[in-house]
Structure 1
């Protein structure tokens, strides 16, 4: 019975990973597509390949998700908690995807874990949630906004005497590199979150000791994320690439380069599961503000912020409801 439950949880975790891929594909490629640096098909293929590669770069974030957010009980009760958390994250991903809102799959998963743990009267490691989730959730968009603005100001100073057509052409080429770096960072961050949940399920199911990540978990998580990315996320891509600001290649490059740098730093230096969505969106806002404040469609930005704020509690609520339903069926 428990083995079947573990298999179900792994399958659902990979389904979440797939929704993460198509939900967050826009993170890596929306700016490159909107500036015509890459065609949509080429951008999706590149993002899928780099997501796959990024998943193999580390496991620190996976360990944070697996053991630093909640303490799940062993056996069927613990598996019900993990399954409910995944259901909460998947439902919120689908809702925000339907409305084209670039919310955070990472925070949906963490909200799901917290909500399911609370519903089961389990233990939430609030210090880990505060240090690894809440503080980075507040700090990373601010850093992304400010740093992207400074990078853009530096670029504008460097190219002030250049011919506009030559500058545009050069940054279109540069965006292929920055978009690849962004996709690599997305794979580094987001595939690890699914790895952490799968290992948590294996531990509470009694099929794994400790929180080292087996190679097959890395391979499955990387493959599911990459497949989801290849499927695309056109609704959210339109929001990030066109509705916030009309991007040009220099601003697209500055946003992608800044966001990828933030992703690498938080993953390797702090093992913090930050939101790639929030990071790239704040970077786009930062480069847009250097054009002029009115160039940013702040109403759209405000709607995105509302989605960010709602993600943790709404995913937690859905996960709690899912846990109570599962508890009634399984216990």
Structure 2
């Protein structure tokens, strides 16, 4: 049996790798529209997004507490050395697979699915907190894309009405400036919601290894997760940027501003409620909503449908992989 501190270090290291891949995978959430509309260069956009992801990670803890103590019963899984490791391996596998395929699936739900699968493999079907999962995962899973679509659609309709008497050149000039603000808002909200998820998983690992007495996020965990996500975002995810920025709907600066502003507002609202929603779901559906406000045929619905399939599959696929990972760790003596 490995020495507990060594295995814990491995778990924390892999969690930070997940956080990095989350930042790289979800960098498109903050920068796809601003890059596709040529408001900022890719390098400038990713550096800005990385810095603001770092800032956003320090602005709250509600989502971290949901991940750490609202998905599985901490008391039931306390002492399980391999649970968090298996959950992370399943989530990272799904992240990398969808990143390779250029599909903007949800890193958040991959992590949640991983936790559920590993917990069931360890403690049986009683280990997950189904009430909390329903209220803070499943309901937001269903509502946040709808809220994203409606907010993107309505905001775009409002903006179109406000600029109806302006020339296209003037509108583009104005919203190229405003889109820098909306992209910054989106990047900050992404750090606020997504970086907290890894904070929660590391805190759960510390608790299961009996290194902390209660589910409280240490400062060093906040700092490490913020840095990992910021660096991951700065590395970029260009295949997903292409999907988000071009394949769903051809964006102009006013469309990018509407999509980013609407998505960031939904994400910040969810973060305040402690709901670990998918920033990918939200920005994808705001882009679709913005496109639909112009005309339904402007949206490439085949691509949108492919995204929905990936969203539906994420939690069960990550759960299955994580359960298999836990059983493998148990067989090899690395988990109890």
TM-score interval for Structure 1 and Structure 2 normalised by the shorter chain? over 0.9
Matched, 1:33 2:6: no
Partner of 1:292: 295
Q: String of CA shifts for 1:41-62, please: whole Å, max 9, x gaps.
A: 0000000000000000001100
Matched, 1:251 2:219: no
CA distance in 2, matches of 1:74, 1:104: 27
| Cα RMSD, aligned residues only | 0.8
Q: String of CA shifts for 1:145-179, please: whole Å, max 9, x gaps.
A: 01110100000000000111011111011000000
Partners of 1:71 and 1:125 within 8 A in 2: yes
Partners of 1:9 and 1:79 within 8 A in 2: no
CA distance in 2, matches of 1:226, 1:318: 27
List structure 1 segments (4+ residues) > 4 angstroms apart after TM superposition.
Answer: none
**What is the aligned counterpart of 1:112 among 111, 114, 122?**
114
Instruction: Give the superposition deviation at 1:79.
Output: 2.5
**5 Å matches for 1:198-277?**
198-268=202-272, 270-277=273-280
Instruction: Give the superposition deviation at 1:38.
Output: 1.1
CA distance in 2, matches of 1:9, 1:157: 52
Partner of 1:69: 71
Q: What SS class does the counterpart of residue 283 from structure 1 fall into?
A: helix
CA distance in 2, matches of 1:218, 1:74: 22
Aligned residues: 328
| TM-score, normalising length: structure 1 | 0.98
Q: String of CA shifts for 1:78-106, please: whole Å, max 9, x gaps.
A: 22111000000000000000000000000
CA distance in 2, matches of 1:302, 1:232: 24
CA distance in 1, matches of 2:208, 2:316: 25
Partner of 1:85: 87
Partner of 1:166: 170
| TM-score, normalising length: structure 2 | 0.97
Matched, 1:101 2:139: no
CA distance in 1, matches of 2:128, 2:293: 41
Q: What SS class does the counterpart of residue 66 from structure 2 fall into?
A: helix
Question: Which one is further off, 2-11 or 300-309?
Answer: 2-11
CA distance in 1, matches of 2:170, 2:70: 49
**5 Å matches for 1:117-156?**
117-122=119-124, 123-156=127-160
CA distance in 2, matches of 1:209, 1:271: 22
Matched, 1:183 2:168: no
Partner of 2:312: 309
CA distance in 2, matches of 1:128, 1:18: 27
Partners of 1:19 and 1:90 within 8 A in 2: yes
Gaps of 5+ in 2: none
**What is the aligned counterpart of 1:49 among 36, 48, 51?**
51
Matched, 1:157 2:188: no
Gaps of 5+ in 1: none
